[in-house]
Amino acid sequence: MSNDQNAPRLSFEFFPPKTPEGKTKLLKVREDLSELNPEFFSVTYGAGGSTRDNTKGIVTELRDQGIDVAPHLSFGGDTEDTIKELISEYQAAGVKRIVALRGDMPSGMGGSFQMVYANQLVAFIREHFGDHFELEVAAYPEIHPEAPSYDDDIRYLKGKFDAGANSAITQYFYSPDAFFYFMDQCQNAGITQPIYPGIMPILNYKNLVRFSDNCGADIPRWLRQRLESFGDDTASLQAFGLDLVTELCEVLLDNGAPGLHFYTMNQTEPTATIVRNLGLSGS
Protein backbone atom coordinates (compact mmCIF):
# COMPACT_ATOMS: atom_id res chain seq x y z
CA MET A 1 0.00 0.00 0.00
CA SER A 2 1.13 3.57 -0.69
CA ASN A 3 3.27 5.30 1.92
CA ASP A 4 3.82 8.60 0.07
CA GLN A 5 1.76 11.15 1.98
CA ASN A 6 1.90 13.61 -0.94
CA ALA A 7 0.76 11.18 -3.63
CA PRO A 8 -2.89 11.22 -4.72
CA ARG A 9 -4.90 8.57 -2.89
CA LEU A 10 -5.81 5.58 -5.01
CA SER A 11 -8.56 3.10 -4.19
CA PHE A 12 -10.14 0.28 -6.18
CA GLU A 13 -13.69 -1.01 -5.93
CA PHE A 14 -14.86 -4.61 -6.37
CA PHE A 15 -18.25 -6.26 -6.26
CA PRO A 16 -18.56 -9.58 -4.39
CA PRO A 17 -18.24 -12.55 -6.77
CA LYS A 18 -21.16 -14.96 -7.08
CA THR A 19 -19.26 -18.07 -8.17
CA PRO A 20 -16.05 -19.87 -7.17
CA GLU A 21 -14.61 -18.98 -10.58
CA GLY A 22 -15.46 -15.34 -10.04
CA LYS A 23 -13.77 -15.41 -6.65
CA THR A 24 -10.60 -16.98 -8.07
CA LYS A 25 -10.50 -14.31 -10.77
CA LEU A 26 -11.09 -11.51 -8.25
CA LEU A 27 -8.23 -12.64 -6.01
CA LYS A 28 -5.92 -12.57 -9.04
CA VAL A 29 -7.16 -9.10 -10.01
CA ARG A 30 -6.57 -7.95 -6.42
CA GLU A 31 -3.01 -9.30 -6.63
CA ASP A 32 -2.38 -7.46 -9.90
CA LEU A 33 -3.88 -4.17 -8.72
CA SER A 34 -1.99 -4.31 -5.41
CA GLU A 35 1.15 -3.62 -7.44
CA LEU A 36 -0.23 -0.11 -8.00
CA ASN A 37 -0.05 0.64 -4.26
CA PRO A 38 -3.66 1.61 -3.53
CA GLU A 39 -4.61 3.01 -0.14
CA PHE A 40 -7.39 0.42 0.08
CA PHE A 41 -9.82 -1.78 -1.84
CA SER A 42 -13.57 -1.55 -1.29
CA VAL A 43 -16.26 -4.21 -1.71
CA THR A 44 -19.83 -3.30 -2.59
CA TYR A 45 -23.03 -4.28 -0.82
CA GLY A 46 -26.15 -5.28 -2.77
CA ALA A 47 -29.56 -3.65 -2.51
CA GLY A 48 -31.04 -4.14 0.94
CA GLY A 49 -27.91 -5.99 2.05
CA SER A 50 -28.57 -8.75 -0.49
CA THR A 51 -24.86 -9.55 -0.84
CA ARG A 52 -24.06 -9.12 2.86
CA ASP A 53 -22.56 -12.58 3.36
CA ASN A 54 -20.64 -12.50 0.06
CA THR A 55 -19.33 -9.05 0.90
CA LYS A 56 -18.27 -10.14 4.38
CA GLY A 57 -16.64 -13.28 2.99
CA ILE A 58 -14.43 -11.47 0.49
CA VAL A 59 -13.63 -8.66 2.96
CA THR A 60 -12.48 -11.07 5.65
CA GLU A 61 -10.47 -13.11 3.14
CA LEU A 62 -8.67 -9.99 1.92
CA ARG A 63 -8.04 -8.93 5.51
CA ASP A 64 -6.55 -12.38 6.21
CA GLN A 65 -4.11 -11.62 3.38
CA GLY A 66 -3.12 -8.38 5.10
CA ILE A 67 -4.98 -6.16 2.63
CA ASP A 68 -6.60 -2.87 3.66
CA VAL A 69 -10.21 -3.29 2.60
CA ALA A 70 -13.34 -1.22 3.18
CA PRO A 71 -16.71 -2.96 3.11
CA HIS A 72 -19.67 -0.99 1.78
CA LEU A 73 -22.52 -1.00 4.26
CA SER A 74 -26.14 0.11 4.49
CA PHE A 75 -28.90 -0.73 6.93
CA GLY A 76 -30.98 -2.20 4.12
CA GLY A 77 -33.69 -4.38 5.62
CA ASP A 78 -31.56 -5.31 8.64
CA THR A 79 -32.08 -4.40 12.28
CA GLU A 80 -29.67 -2.22 14.22
CA ASP A 81 -28.52 -5.27 16.20
CA THR A 82 -27.70 -7.20 13.01
CA ILE A 83 -25.71 -4.29 11.59
CA LYS A 84 -23.95 -3.69 14.91
CA GLU A 85 -22.93 -7.36 15.03
CA LEU A 86 -21.64 -7.19 11.45
CA ILE A 87 -19.60 -4.05 12.20
CA SER A 88 -18.20 -5.72 15.31
CA GLU A 89 -17.07 -8.65 13.17
CA TYR A 90 -15.36 -6.23 10.79
CA GLN A 91 -13.67 -4.50 13.72
CA ALA A 92 -12.43 -7.83 15.08
CA ALA A 93 -11.08 -8.70 11.60
CA GLY A 94 -8.97 -5.54 11.60
CA VAL A 95 -11.10 -3.51 9.18
CA LYS A 96 -10.47 0.18 9.75
CA ARG A 97 -12.57 1.80 7.02
CA ILE A 98 -16.24 1.53 6.02
CA VAL A 99 -18.11 3.02 3.07
CA ALA A 100 -21.41 4.04 4.71
CA LEU A 101 -24.36 4.29 2.32
CA ARG A 102 -28.11 4.69 2.31
CA GLY A 103 -28.25 1.81 -0.10
CA ASP A 104 -30.82 0.96 -2.75
CA MET A 105 -34.28 -0.39 -2.11
CA PRO A 106 -34.34 -4.08 -3.08
CA SER A 107 -37.02 -5.15 -5.51
CA GLY A 108 -40.06 -6.69 -3.91
CA MET A 109 -39.69 -4.94 -0.55
CA GLY A 110 -42.36 -2.37 -1.39
CA GLY A 111 -43.87 -0.33 1.42
CA SER A 112 -42.51 -2.64 4.12
CA PHE A 113 -39.00 -1.34 3.52
CA GLN A 114 -37.86 1.48 5.80
CA MET A 115 -35.09 3.53 4.23
CA VAL A 116 -32.38 4.59 6.64
CA TYR A 117 -30.20 7.41 5.39
CA ALA A 118 -26.42 7.45 5.26
CA ASN A 119 -26.11 10.22 7.85
CA GLN A 120 -28.04 8.02 10.28
CA LEU A 121 -25.73 5.07 9.58
CA VAL A 122 -22.67 7.29 10.09
CA ALA A 123 -24.08 8.54 13.40
CA PHE A 124 -24.88 4.96 14.44
CA ILE A 125 -21.32 3.80 13.76
CA ARG A 126 -19.83 6.78 15.61
CA GLU A 127 -22.16 6.17 18.58
CA HIS A 128 -21.20 2.50 18.96
CA PHE A 129 -17.63 2.39 17.64
CA GLY A 130 -16.26 5.87 18.25
CA ASP A 131 -13.41 6.82 15.94
CA HIS A 132 -12.27 3.26 15.18
CA PHE A 133 -13.36 3.51 11.54
CA GLU A 134 -12.55 5.96 8.78
CA LEU A 135 -15.98 6.54 7.26
CA GLU A 136 -16.43 7.20 3.56
CA VAL A 137 -19.77 8.34 2.17
CA ALA A 138 -21.18 8.85 -1.34
CA ALA A 139 -21.32 12.16 -3.21
CA TYR A 140 -23.09 12.99 -6.46
CA PRO A 141 -21.50 15.69 -8.67
CA GLU A 142 -24.43 15.42 -11.09
CA ILE A 143 -26.85 15.16 -8.15
CA HIS A 144 -28.63 12.08 -6.84
CA PRO A 145 -31.57 11.20 -9.12
CA GLU A 146 -33.97 11.30 -6.13
CA ALA A 147 -32.75 14.63 -4.73
CA PRO A 148 -35.40 17.38 -4.72
CA SER A 149 -32.83 19.96 -5.84
CA TYR A 150 -29.12 20.62 -6.28
CA ASP A 151 -28.94 22.60 -3.03
CA ASP A 152 -30.79 19.87 -1.13
CA ASP A 153 -28.29 17.28 -2.29
CA ILE A 154 -25.35 19.41 -1.15
CA ARG A 155 -27.10 19.82 2.20
CA TYR A 156 -27.58 16.06 2.50
CA LEU A 157 -23.86 15.54 1.87
CA LYS A 158 -22.98 18.10 4.54
CA GLY A 159 -25.27 16.21 6.91
CA LYS A 160 -23.20 13.07 6.40
CA PHE A 161 -20.03 14.97 7.27
CA ASP A 162 -21.69 16.63 10.26
CA ALA A 163 -22.63 13.14 11.49
CA GLY A 164 -18.96 12.13 11.47
CA ALA A 165 -17.92 11.04 7.97
CA ASN A 166 -14.25 11.60 7.11
CA SER A 167 -14.42 11.82 3.32
CA ALA A 168 -16.58 11.11 0.31
CA ILE A 169 -16.31 9.14 -2.93
CA THR A 170 -18.31 10.39 -5.91
CA GLN A 171 -20.51 8.67 -8.41
CA TYR A 172 -18.61 8.41 -11.69
CA PHE A 173 -18.91 11.17 -14.28
CA TYR A 174 -17.34 12.18 -17.59
CA SER A 175 -17.65 15.97 -17.35
CA PRO A 176 -14.86 17.48 -15.24
CA ASP A 177 -16.76 20.79 -15.20
CA ALA A 178 -19.61 19.09 -13.34
CA PHE A 179 -17.14 17.96 -10.66
CA PHE A 180 -15.45 21.34 -10.33
CA TYR A 181 -18.77 23.19 -10.05
CA PHE A 182 -19.89 20.64 -7.45
CA MET A 183 -16.71 21.17 -5.46
CA ASP A 184 -17.25 24.95 -5.52
CA GLN A 185 -20.78 24.48 -4.19
CA CYS A 186 -19.54 22.11 -1.47
CA GLN A 187 -16.97 24.70 -0.40
CA ASN A 188 -19.67 27.38 -0.32
CA ALA A 189 -21.73 25.10 1.94
CA GLY A 190 -18.85 24.80 4.40
CA ILE A 191 -17.72 21.30 3.44
CA THR A 192 -13.98 21.01 4.01
CA GLN A 193 -13.49 17.22 4.02
CA PRO A 194 -11.84 15.59 0.97
CA ILE A 195 -14.04 14.38 -1.87
CA TYR A 196 -12.53 11.74 -4.16
CA PRO A 197 -13.74 11.45 -7.75
CA GLY A 198 -15.13 8.06 -8.76
CA ILE A 199 -13.71 6.86 -12.09
CA MET A 200 -15.47 4.39 -14.38
CA PRO A 201 -13.26 3.00 -17.19
CA ILE A 202 -15.12 2.38 -20.45
CA LEU A 203 -15.28 -1.30 -21.37
CA ASN A 204 -18.67 -1.83 -23.01
CA TYR A 205 -21.05 0.80 -24.34
CA LYS A 206 -24.34 -0.99 -23.65
CA ASN A 207 -23.35 -1.87 -20.09
CA LEU A 208 -22.21 1.70 -19.45
CA VAL A 209 -25.53 3.10 -20.67
CA ARG A 210 -27.45 0.65 -18.49
CA PHE A 211 -25.39 1.48 -15.39
CA SER A 212 -25.65 5.19 -16.05
CA ASP A 213 -29.40 5.19 -16.63
CA ASN A 214 -29.87 3.26 -13.38
CA CYS A 215 -27.71 5.47 -11.19
CA GLY A 216 -28.27 8.88 -12.76
CA ALA A 217 -24.72 9.37 -14.06
CA ASP A 218 -24.66 11.48 -17.21
CA ILE A 219 -23.01 10.36 -20.43
CA PRO A 220 -22.70 13.61 -22.41
CA ARG A 221 -24.45 13.51 -25.79
CA TRP A 222 -21.20 13.90 -27.73
CA LEU A 223 -19.72 10.94 -25.84
CA ARG A 224 -22.76 8.73 -26.45
CA GLN A 225 -22.53 9.52 -30.17
CA ARG A 226 -18.80 8.75 -30.23
CA LEU A 227 -19.16 5.46 -28.35
CA GLU A 228 -22.11 4.38 -30.50
CA SER A 229 -20.03 5.00 -33.62
CA PHE A 230 -17.68 2.13 -32.75
CA GLY A 231 -20.47 -0.42 -33.13
CA ASP A 232 -19.09 -3.90 -32.48
CA ASP A 233 -15.46 -2.72 -32.66
CA THR A 234 -14.76 -3.29 -28.97
CA ALA A 235 -11.00 -2.86 -29.28
CA SER A 236 -11.33 0.63 -30.78
CA LEU A 237 -13.98 1.61 -28.24
CA GLN A 238 -11.77 0.54 -25.36
CA ALA A 239 -8.72 2.31 -26.79
CA PHE A 240 -10.76 5.51 -27.13
CA GLY A 241 -12.11 5.05 -23.59
CA LEU A 242 -8.61 4.52 -22.24
CA ASP A 243 -7.44 7.84 -23.67
CA LEU A 244 -10.60 9.67 -22.60
CA VAL A 245 -10.57 8.46 -18.99
CA THR A 246 -6.81 9.00 -18.64
CA GLU A 247 -7.28 12.60 -19.78
CA LEU A 248 -10.22 13.04 -17.37
CA CYS A 249 -8.06 11.82 -14.48
CA GLU A 250 -5.21 14.14 -15.49
CA VAL A 251 -7.52 17.15 -15.52
CA LEU A 252 -8.98 16.22 -12.13
CA LEU A 253 -5.59 15.72 -10.46
CA ASP A 254 -4.09 18.83 -12.07
CA ASN A 255 -6.94 20.87 -10.61
CA GLY A 256 -6.67 19.64 -7.05
CA ALA A 257 -8.57 16.36 -6.77
CA PRO A 258 -7.07 14.56 -3.75
CA GLY A 259 -7.06 11.14 -5.42
CA LEU A 260 -9.09 8.72 -7.52
CA HIS A 261 -11.47 5.84 -6.74
CA PHE A 262 -11.73 3.34 -9.61
CA TYR A 263 -14.82 1.22 -10.30
CA THR A 264 -12.82 -1.74 -11.60
CA MET A 265 -15.73 -4.06 -12.51
CA ASN A 266 -13.51 -6.83 -11.06
CA GLN A 267 -11.02 -6.46 -13.91
CA THR A 268 -7.36 -5.46 -13.92
CA GLU A 269 -7.64 -3.57 -17.21
CA PRO A 270 -8.04 -0.82 -18.14
CA THR A 271 -7.69 0.51 -14.59
CA ALA A 272 -4.04 -0.60 -14.32
CA THR A 273 -3.09 1.04 -17.61
CA ILE A 274 -4.81 4.31 -16.68
CA VAL A 275 -3.01 4.43 -13.33
CA ARG A 276 0.34 3.74 -15.00
CA ASN A 277 -0.39 6.34 -17.68
CA LEU A 278 -0.88 8.85 -14.85
CA GLY A 279 2.46 7.88 -13.30
CA LEU A 280 0.74 6.85 -10.06
CA SER A 281 1.74 3.19 -9.90
CA GLY A 282 4.47 3.80 -7.32
CA SER A 283 6.84 1.67 -9.36
The pTM of the full predicted model, rounded to 2 decimals, is 0.93
User: Residue 200 is part of a domain; what is its CATH number?
Assistant: 3.20.20.220
Residue 14 is assigned to a structural domain of this protein: yes
CB 17 within 8 A of CB 23: yes
Considering only CA atoms, which of 126, 80, 86, 118 is closest in space to residue 101? 118
The Cα-based distances of 154 to 174, 207, 267, 273 in angstroms read 20, 29, 32, 33
**pLDDT (tens digit per residue) in 217-276:** 999 999 999 999 999 999 999 999 999 999 999 999 999 999 999 999 999 999 999 999
pLDDT of residue 19: 92
d(CA 225, CA 58) in angstroms, rounded, equals 38
Within 10 angstroms of residue 222's Cβ, the number of other Cβ atoms is 9
Q: Does the active-site annotation cover 13?
A: yes
Indicate the range of 15-19, 68-72, 158-162 predicted with least confidence.
Answer: 15-19
Where is 37: in which H helix or E strand? Answer: none
Spatial separation of the C-alpha atoms in residues 183 and 175, rounded to whole Å? 13
DSSP 104: P
Domain-located, residue 241: yes
Range of the domain at 235: 9-277
User: pLDDT by residue (tens digit) across 20-30?
Assistant: 999 999 999 99
Residue 52: which pLDDT band, with cuts at 50, 70 and 90?
A: confident
Position 93 pLDDT exceeds 70 = yes
Residue at 187 is within a domain: yes
| Residue 179, in any domain of the structure | yes
Residue 186 maps to a domain: yes
Q: What is the mean pLDDT of the chain?
A: 92
The number of helix segments (H) and strand segments (E) in the chain equals 10, 8
Residue 2 pLDDT class (50, 70, 90 cuts)? very low
**Chain segment 107-161, per-residue pLDDT in tens:** 444 444 455 899 999 999 999 999 999 999 999 999 998 899 999 999 999 999 9
Burial profile 151-190: b = 16 or more Cβ within 10 angstroms, e = fewer: eebbebbbbbbebbbebbbbbbbbebebbbebbebbeeee
Q: Which one from 13, 39, 136, 142 is the annotated catalytic residue? A: 13
| Tally of domains in the chain | 1
Please give the average per-residue pLDDT across 193-209, as a whole number: 97
Mean pLDDT for the stretch of residues 8-29 = 95
Band the pLDDT of 76: cuts 50, 70, 90. Answer: confident
* Position 104 pLDDT exceeds 90: no
pLDDT for residue 45: 86
Q: Is residue 282, in this structure, part of any structural domain at all?
A: no
DSSP state of 58: H
Model pLDDT, residue 69: 98
Q: Domain for residue 3, yes or no?
A: no
Residue 104 lies in a domain: yes
Q: What is the pLDDT of residue 75?
A: 85
Phi, psi (degrees; rounded to nearest 5) at 189: -85, 0
